[in-house]
Amino acid sequence: MAHFRLQNVEDFYEIGEVLGSGHFGQVRELTEQSSGTLWAGKFLKLQRSASSRLGVERRSVEREVEILQALPHAHIMALHDVFDSRAEIVLVVELISGGELFDFIAEKENLMENEAIGFLKQILSGVAFMHSKQIAHFDLKPENIMLSDKSAELPEIKIIDFGLAQRFTPGEEYRSLCGTPQYIAPEVVNYEPLTVASDILSGMSPFQGDSDEETLRNIVDMKYEFEDQYFSATSDMAKDFIQKLLIKDQSERMTAEECLMHPWIKPLTHRQAASRSRSSINMKNFKKFNARRKWRMSYNMVWVCNRLCRLQLLCKQAQEDEELRSCESDQEDIAIKPASLIRRRLSSNS
Ligand code: ATP
């Protein structure tokens, strides 16, 4: 179990600009006073009581910390320190300054499959490592795949946000309704026992429907197609790779290790290598997908803030600047659509 320091983070770190925000608080830049090293601080507001509508359960933060500690890997965000005041826990983590992978890609005019595979390999090696420790992330999606430094020749991938991650205990079943509708696996929608294989079917969104309900139905039915409009320049090996991931039965789905051995990722012949270096990603479509995803994220954030500010006004609590940190928290409390049985995270296309 990690050592939670019962001291103030401010006594050891300068707190800088806001880098991002999530359900339960903000992520801010931190400068370590003793060394000048830059870090990121994830400030998590704790629930005031078991019935409280705002904040995160202490047990969940403890689990996130334990999991991060168990995952020292080049492509997984590293945990450096933990501070614990009664109201808030601050995770001091490695600063990841290159932004989201999808934003980086969307700025490009073209992207060959070879380059995309370079990123995919890094993601898969991080995922294979966590799965080898019997840990599943359960929220793999574009927002949680970041780059350490986008000016590097091959920028390094970092997987973030282990807030929903779980470590499997042998002999115990784990079920959950958590996730972001368009990125979850059918076994989550069906509330069936989950395994690390659920990570393999998350993070992509070929099932997008006009509503969350339709998206979830498409996932359960495994309804998707390779429309020519989008896939004409895609190699057959890439399509084969995707098909082997989009399999309803968890035990039939490729594992992260198997993905790394698929000929699209690791070509066995010259012909296979040549085919993927000739094929490209449809950038027009990708840019459209990313723009829509970003728009949706800002829309959701404004909606959540408005709802919470209204709630806070009602409770006469929203006076201090500090309170703004809770502004993005607890979205699941206010999701009211039927599909919100799935614990919604700030999502892109729903
Ligand atoms: P969510 O509501 O998406 O589950 P969360 O409360 O669990 O979020 P994170 O996803 O971990 O929080 O972080 C929120 C945002 O803060 C990220 O989307 C990212 O933009 C930024 N962020 C997180 N970790 C880092 C980091 N180590 N370095 C830089 N920015 C970060």
Q: Pick from 9, 13, 332: which is nearest to 180 by CA?
A: 332
- Count of Cβ atoms closer than 10 Å to residue 218 Cβ: 19
How far is Cα 89 from Cα 293, in angstroms, rounded to an integer? 30
Least confident of 15-29, 61-75, 228-242: 228-242
Band of pLDDT at residue 305, cut at 50, 70 and 90: low
Per the structure block, which two tokens stand in for 324?
Answer: 């703004």
Catalytic residue flag (residue 139): yes
Task: Report the nearest-CA residue for atom 10 of ligand 1.
Answer: 161
CB 130 within 8 A of CB 271: no
Binding residues for ATP: 42
* Cα angle value 121/70/64 (rounded, 5°): 95
- Ligand 1 center to 108 CA (angstroms): 24
Task: Report the nearest-CA residue for atom 8 of ligand 1.
Answer: 22
Least confident of 98-102, 187-191, 329-333: 329-333
Residue 321 class from Cβ within 10 Å (0-12 exposed, 13-18 middle, 19+ buried)?
exposed
Predicted interface score ipTM higher than 0.90:
yes
Predicted confidence at residue 231, as pLDDT, reads 75
- Between 145 and 149, whose confidence is greater? 145
Predicted confidence at residue 346, as pLDDT, reads 39
Q: What is the pLDDT of residues 322-346, one digit of tens each?
A: 554 544 444 443 333 434 444 444 3
Q: At what angle do helices 270-278 and 236-245 cross, to 10 degrees?
A: 90
**Choice from 15, 17, 19 to test ligand 1 binding pocket (greatest atom count within 8 A of CB):** 19
Q: Indicate which residue of 11, 81, 84, 139 is catalytic.
A: 139
Q: Is pLDDT above 60 for 158?
A: yes
- What residues pair up with 322 in beta bridges, in sequence order? none
In three-state form (DSSP H/G/I as H, E/B as E, the rest C), the secondary structure along the chain is CCCCECCCHHHCEEEEEEEEEECCEEEEEEEECCCCCEEEEEEEEECCCCCCCCCECHHHHHHHHHHHHCCCCCCECCEEEEEECCCEEEEEEECCCCCEHHHHHHCCCCCEHHHHHHHHHHHHHHHHHHHHCCEECCCCCHHHEEECCCCCCCCCEEECCCCCCEECCCCCCCCCCECCHHHCCHHHHCCCCCCCHHHHCCCCCCCCCCCHHHHHHHHHHCCCCCCHHHHCCCCHHHHHHHHHHCCCCCCCCCCHHHHHHCCCCCCCCHHHHHHHHHCECCHHHHHHHHHHHHHHHHHHHHHHHHHHHHHHHHCCCCCCHHHHHHHHCCHHHHCCCHHHHCECCCCCCC
Most confident of 46-55, 103-112, 118-127, 282-291: 118-127
Band of pLDDT at residue 114, cut at 50, 70 and 90: confident
- Ligand 1 center to 21 CA (angstroms): 6
Predicted confidence at residue 45, as pLDDT, reads 93
Q: Is pLDDT above 90 for 76?
A: yes
Band of pLDDT at residue 254, cut at 50, 70 and 90: very high
- Ligand 1 center to 161 CA (angstroms): 6
Least confident of 1-10, 65-74, 88-97, 275-284: 275-284
CB 207 within 8 A of CB 223: yes
Predicted confidence at residue 226, as pLDDT, reads 74
- Ligand 1 center to 179 CA (angstroms): 15
Report the pocket of ligand 1 as residue ranges, CB < 6 Å: 19-24, 27, 40, 42, 77, 93-96, 143, 160-161, 163, 345-346
